[in-house]
Amino acid sequence: MVESWSSFDTVESNFRPLVVIELAKDTKEETIEWLTKRIVDKKADGGAQLLIKPLVMENGVENIYLVGASHLRLLLGAETVGLVKECSDNSMRAFTYSSRKTFKHFADDNHDFLTMAECQYIIKHELENLRAKNEKMIPGYPQAKLYPGKSIVRRLLTSGILVQIFPLHDREELKKLSHSWYGRVKVGYQPLDDIRCYFGETIALYFGFLEYFTFALIPMAVIGIPYYVFAWEDYDKYVMFATFNLLWSTVILEVWKRICAILTYRWGTLLMKRQFEEPRPGFHGVLGINPVTGREEPVYSSIKRQLRIYLVSLPFVCLCLYFSLYVMMIYFDLEQWALDYHNENESNFSSLMLYVPSIIYAVVIEIMNRIYRYAAEFLTSWENHRLESSYQNHLILKVLVFNFLNCFASLFYIAFVLFDMKLLRQSLATLLITSQILNQFAESLLPYWLQKRYNRRMKKGVCSKKTDTDLSLAEQVNMEKEMGTYLGTFDDYLELFLQFGYVSLFSCVYPLAAVFAVLNNITEIYSDALKMCRVYKRPFAEPTANIGVWQLAFETMSVISVVTNCILIGMSPQVDALFPDSKMDLVLTVALVEHLLLAIKFIMAFVIPDKPRDIQTKLAKLEFESLEALKQQVRVFQMQLHFLLIHH
Amino acid sequence: MVESWSSFDTVESNFRPLVVIELAKDTKEETIEWLTKRIVDKKADGGAQLLIKPLVMENGVENIYLVGASHLRLLLGAETVGLVKECSDNSMRAFTYSSRKTFKHFADDNHDFLTMAECQYIIKHELENLRAKNEKMIPGYPQAKLYPGKSIVRRLLTSGILVQIFPLHDREELKKLSHSWYGRVKVGYQPLDDIRCYFGETIALYFGFLEYFTFALIPMAVIGIPYYVFAWEDYDKYVMFATFNLLWSTVILEVWKRICAILTYRWGTLLMKRQFEEPRPGFHGVLGINPVTGREEPVYSSIKRQLRIYLVSLPFVCLCLYFSLYVMMIYFDLEQWALDYHNENESNFSSLMLYVPSIIYAVVIEIMNRIYRYAAEFLTSWENHRLESSYQNHLILKVLVFNFLNCFASLFYIAFVLFDMKLLRQSLATLLITSQILNQFAESLLPYWLQKRYNRRMKKGVCSKKTDTDLSLAEQVNMEKEMGTYLGTFDDYLELFLQFGYVSLFSCVYPLAAVFAVLNNITEIYSDALKMCRVYKRPFAEPTANIGVWQLAFETMSVISVVTNCILIGMSPQVDALFPDSKMDLVLTVALVEHLLLAIKFIMAFVIPDKPRDIQTKLAKLEFESLEALKQQVRVFQMQLHFLLIHH
């Protein structure tokens, strides 16, 4: 049934390999046969109606399969997943096969109408939606149970028969993309549309946010520089800087929503209908009836989950927070010890020693964050959430709370308990710069080293070939399957979130933070781009219309920063000197200003529309059209009915 | 074409009059002919396909028409407006004629499947959507211009040819409803479902909110009574009361969302699709192309509107606010004068005089609120908003800001400038009680008097008839067309909003406010019910899924009340005495507590789901089904396509 396909006849065949399936080396023959049959079977027979061919490796092992699809199949799949494309009249519409002629650049022989990333997304969607019919188990593996409606691929993954599924790189495209992205030494915007075509919307939106955020920080950085250069310490200048920062951070977060709407409208994801969410792969429970779908599927009592969350996860998180505070106190002991040492025997070495506790603490914070991350993932997975989105929300909440406390607790302690502004400035600088260096190392130097090693290895393997694009398909697959897997944008956003905290929470004490953030983000763009193109396997494209819960996280941070900055300014000796008679008046003034700023923030967030006017008009137009179409349908039906009634 | 219809043959005819159209007395014959033709014309010919008959009055004047529709027409109309009804399997679904058999209580001869209010809503919708075809003007009235797509009824209304359209009361039903609603002297819930059937969802939801709010205030009132009885003045008791109030007000507002979801799910409006919003009747401008619909319609530049808002409306509102503050200062002068008078010649009369300024001020506030209301309506109408919703939002914002300042400015001044808690308590009590008495008078005594007068008049007119239900149709129409028009729930919500302010803003100073609010609301339910059933014309039902912008207004009020209560407690001498050494510590503690309370409020609002779990499941189920249906449709289409491809 499945033709064998040697590793050198790629060019002539009209089968275009898109997705790689790697099975376990000892997978039974009957399982492979069943799986390939299900994948190529007609949709009407419950199959995925895709093409699959084994890839014969040089060592003769046959555990890797290439999946593709006919052009027609992909177009029908695009309709199923609800892709939105641009029409000839420049409006964005959900693609349907019957209206295909109205879309821009559509031609029956134009195989570039769907981007490769879209094709791969469609194939992934079809594979994941390949569901068991009457199979009670995976043939050959009686312990891998199935029930009608269970996703076959997800069961294969959880039982270890399927090692991985990943989309293939397009070496030609990748080379073009990486050249225009980070290849040229030239200041300019990133090619976001090309990134989106190659990596999908989630990743393109992350890079869009990173770029936007960097630009947005520039005014802060520019205003911050003279404070450092001229060592301005006047209260009125600080107040101005802090007020600007607070209002600015509200404005940039609101404006981002508008830019995000513009981008995702252009990419079509703003209009994409939400698909019904299936249970996540790791979800388990006794078989029962889902009250929503009426289908048989694992059911896990919500009360049990609540108990796990409140009796295990919550105490664990609190314990971790306590531990983090404990480590912080040790840091302050160390700090005190270094200071004593410096006072006793003053020397160059001892003044250098003053910075050592902060640096050690910064490293320890990074290590704790990473360890906690694993614990949080384990716990959230153990809570057994049914939906991926609910899993993600619980994970993000756990990680954010801990990282926030872990990174900023010492700064809060220094600022509001020790009242030591000099130490605060020094700690802030050390923490920010150390964490940036650590991250740059983990994301830029490490990838660079990995790439070097990989280049060496590749040269050894294929001496005759000179560039990556000349690699044979088998060599390419073999190489890519060994690359690391990109685990999503979570860590990248988290890094930006913490950076935003360093910049905004204590901005009036250390205006230079924005400068470091800008510098870091510029290199971050390059190192992240390198990481995406060179270090990791190509990730599947994920359509998305916004940055999700991160918008809320950034907004919360900017609210907290209003409070901290107001207190800091109120505590500064210059402001103090303004109210010589009564401390009361000072505190009341600060409280009043803080409430005013918060009120202005909320009013601004309310007044600035989330979508630009032209996008609003376009969306209204689409909604109007669909309502009209519905009405038309009702009208036609009513006319037919009247006709019938009259003639009987 | 239109049969004449005398006023006494209602019982035998199968034409059921639902809606009354009153034309101007001197309307030209050709206009009437054209209008009735358009109303009875087939949908296919651009008509409304309704039934219309003139009502011959005793004095022979023929300017009143009765509109009805066939049962089939109403069912098809129910599909057009998107009514959601209960199915036989207890789920709620959008009604379609083709699936009519699956709905509960549906039978082809059951004319009660749609309630009378629903039928009237459908007729109103169809009349308003009766649009000009090629008419350039209303026949007989060259100055009343039309353009293709313009709603005929709206043009008739704005040019004064159509005096009014209103739905008929159902005397039988009304009697039953008023008996179960306010006829029995019995404590119990209101018959919300019956109210909804008779008056529609908007009004039923108002009464539901009023009832819920009254119940929600009872705990506050119960806890407040001992403070008054035992004259508790301990700070810890006040703190407890205020804290309870603040958290309680958050909880009740969150829980209301859930109750609202339960009610509107049962009524079907939670699932109703939003209809496309047409321009409001008063909107005018030069004819242009609407970018959304692509239709010809009046266009008014958004910049001109913005200029009107920011250059005229905003300064005017500010001026009004200034004037209101000016009046407040006069009140304080009066207050001072009364106090001086009391101190000079102490007597019973003089101590009574102490209350006079507050009472006068309360009356003046009410008068100013009402005058401002007219000005705000005029201005907002002059701003020429295209959509009714945008008009409403601008009106509500204008009115809320002014009423808030007008009602509460003096209390803020007394509390935070004069620091006079005794005067605050006295002013609060006077304002609250006076405004309640005034409102009760305007809503209960006045209606009662009106009803008396109307009864007398009716008795004079029809001596033989004893009860309202025996009235002839012509008598009924004649009577109802003279009744006042109910202008919507705006004023009723506004009254509740201000009451909520009186209760929550200074609750820790005057715990008895909640008691007065509860007492007022109980009579309010009765007087509002009387008003709806007896005083006003029956209003058209308006489907709605929530209380809209009022939810936001109440939530904002509860945030402001956190701030005011914290400050009040901080200022109380008992709390002051706790921090004898340092005022600073006191202020800092108060600020800390305030921030904590606000944080708890926001977390609670975030954690409490807006919809109960079972409603969520039901909604998810419906969404799942519609997605499945769509998929099924795509699948059938794909199969047909494959079949075609195979056989060619």
Residue A5 has a pLDDT of: 34
Could A617 and B583 be called an inter-chain contact, meaning their C-beta atoms sit closer than 8 Å?
no
CA distance B647 to A466: 49
Flag whether residue A621 sits within 8 Å of chain B, measured between CB atoms: yes
User: Whole-angstrom Cα distance, residue A431 to residue A362?
Assistant: 5
**Mutual orientation of helices A201-229 and A235-267 as an angle, nearest 10°?**
160
The residues, ordered by sequence, that sit 6+ positions from B196 with a Cβ below 8 Å of its Cβ are: B203, B204, B267
Strand partners, B21: B65, B165
Closest CA to B219 of B498, B520, B425, B518: B518
H helix and E strand count, chain B? 22, 10
Chain A residues whose CB is inside 8 A of the B639 CB are 43-44
Q: What is the pLDDT of residues A105-131, one digit of tens each?
A: 888 778 889 989 999 999 999 998 888
A73 Cα to chain B: minimum distance (Å) = 10
- pLDDT higher at B101 or A13: B101
| Cβ(A283)–Cβ(A298) below 8 Å | yes
Max CA separation in chain B (angstroms): 110
| Cα B420 to Cα A120, B179, B423, distances in angstroms | 72, 48, 5
Is ipTM > 0.85 here? no
Token pair 């109380």 in the structure block, residue: B572
What is the H or E stretch that residue B54 is in? strand B51-54
Q: Which residue has the higher pLDDT, A540 or B96?
A: A540
Residue contact A80–B43, C-beta within 8 A = no
Give CA–CA dist B294/B288, Å, rounded. 9
CB contact under 8 Å between A624 and B293, yes or no, is: yes
Q: How many helices (H) and strands (E) does chain A have?
A: 22, 10
Which residue has 């014969």 as its token pair?
A56
CB spacing of A563 vs B595 below 8 angstroms: yes
Are B490 and B27 in contact by the 8 Å Cβ rule? The answer is: no
| pLDDT score, position A59 | 67
Residue labelled with tokens 């979508």: A611
pLDDT at position A4: 34
Residue B82 identity (one-letter amino acid): G
A343: Cβ contacts below 8 Å, ≥ 6 apart: none
**Strand pairing partners for B66?**
B20, B53
From A436, A430, A432, A429, select the one nearest A523 (Cα to Cα). A436
Q: What is the pLDDT of residue B356?
A: 86
**Per-residue exposure over B515-536, b if at least 16 CB sit within 10 Å of its own CB, e if not:** bbbbebbeebbebbbbbbbbbb
Q: Number of C-alpha atoms within 13 angstroms, CB side, residue B407?
A: 29
Partner-chain residue, chosen from B292, B302, B591, that has the shortest CB–CB distance to A624:
B292
- Tell how far CA A226 is from the center of its chain: 35
3-state SS assignment for residue B289: strand
**pLDDT interval class at A463 (50, 70, 90):** very low
Minimal-distance CA residue of chain A relative to B623: A276
Residue appearing with tokens 């059951």: B110
Tokens 């609210």 correspond to what residue?
A: A559
Whether A276 and B43 lie within 8 Å, measured CB to CB:
no
What are the C-alpha distances in Å from B574 to residues A530, B525, B633? 65, 40, 72
Local confidence band at A10 (pLDDT 50, 70, 90 cut-offs): very low
The residue in chain A having the minimum alpha-carbon distance to the alpha carbon of residue B595 is A563
B185 neighbors B177 (Cβ within 8 angstroms): no
Q: Treating both helix axes as pointing N-terminal to C-terminal, what angle do B388-413 and B314-344 enclose, rounded to 10 degrees?
A: 30
**Interface residue of B73, B306, B587 to substitute, partner A, most A CBs within 10 Å:** B587
CA-CA-CA-CA torsion for A315, A319, A324, A330, nearest 10 degrees? 160
Residue ranges per structural domain of chain B: 19-168, 179-300+384-460+479-611, 302-383
Tell me how far apart the alpha carbons of residues A343 and A337 are, in angstroms, rounded to a whole number.
10
Residues of chain B with C-beta less than 8 angstroms from the C-beta of A591: 587, 591
Instruction: Answer whether residue A12 shows pLDDT above 60.
Output: no
A484: left (phi over 0), alpha (psi -120 to 50) or beta: beta
Encoded tokens for A621: 């137009």
Q: Which helix (H) or strand (E) holds A67?
A: strand A64-68
pLDDT tops 80 at residue A273: no
pLDDT (0 to 100) of residue B459: 59
Inter-chain residue contact B293 with A642, CB threshold 8 Å: no
Contacts of A7 (CB under 8 A, 6+ apart): A55, A56, A57, A58, A472, A473, A474
Nearest Cα to A19, choosing from A154, A162, A117?
Answer: A117
Alpha-carbon dihedral of residues A141, A147, A149, A155, nearest 10 degrees?
A: -30
* Residue owning tokens 């005057």: B510
Mean of all residue pLDDT scores within chain A: 84
CA Rg value for chain A:
29
Q: Does A456 touch chain B (CB under 8 A)?
A: no
Helix/strand/coil (H, E, C) string of A312-362? HHHHHHHHHHHHHHHHHHHHHHHHHHHHHHHHHCCCHHHHHHCCHHHHHHH
Q: What angle do CA A306, A308, A310 make, to 5 degrees?
A: 65
Structure tokens at B58: 């005793």
Contacts of B642 in chain A (CB under 8 A): 42, 44
Q: What is the pTM of this model?
A: 0.86
Which residues make Cβ contacts (< 8 Å) with residue B107, sequence separation at least 6? B113
CA torsion sign for A208, A209, A212, A213 is negative
- Of A544, A540, A638, which Cα lies nearest the Cα of A117? A540
Contact check, Cβ <8 Å, A292/B642: no
Query: Contact at 8 Å (CB) between B300 and B285?
Result: yes
Give Cα separations from B81 to B46, B72, B122, B276, B353 (angstroms).
17, 14, 7, 11, 59
What are the tens digits of pLDDT across the range B62-99? 788 999 998 888 998 898 888 999 988 888 888 888 88
Please report the DSSP string for A111-144 in residue order: TTSS-HHHHHHHHHHHHHT-B-SS-SEETTEEEE
Instruction: List strand residue ranges (DSSP E) for B130-239, in order.
Output: 137-138, 141-145, 162-167
DSSP bridge partners of A68: A51
- Whether A595 sits inside 8 A of B623 (CB atoms) is no
Which of helix, strand or coil describes residue B57? coil
User: pLDDT per residue over A580-621, tens digit each?
Assistant: 777 778 888 888 889 998 998 888 888 888 999 889 888 888
The answer to whether the CB of A543 falls within 8 A of the CB of A455 is no
pLDDT of residue A458 exceeding 50: yes
The verdict on A583 touching B (C-beta cutoff 8 Å) is yes
Q: What is the DSSP letter of A485?
A: P
Q: Which pLDDT does position A578 carry in this prediction?
A: 79
Residue-level pLDDT at A552: 92
Which of A171, A146, A172 lies closest to A159, judged by CA?
A: A146
pLDDT per residue as tens digits for the range A32-88:
999 999 999 888 888 888 999 888 776 666 788 999 998 888 998 898 888 999 988
Contact A523/B at CB under 8 A: no
Specify the 3-state DSSP secondary structure of B635.
Answer: helix
Q: Is the pLDDT of residue A214 over 90?
A: yes
The more confident residue out of B213 and A301 is B213
Q: Establish if B76 touches chain A: CB-CB under 8 angstroms.
A: yes
pLDDT computed for residue B264 by the predictor: 93
For chain B, residues with pLDDT lower than 50 are 1-13, 463-466
Which of the 8 DSSP states describes residue B53? E
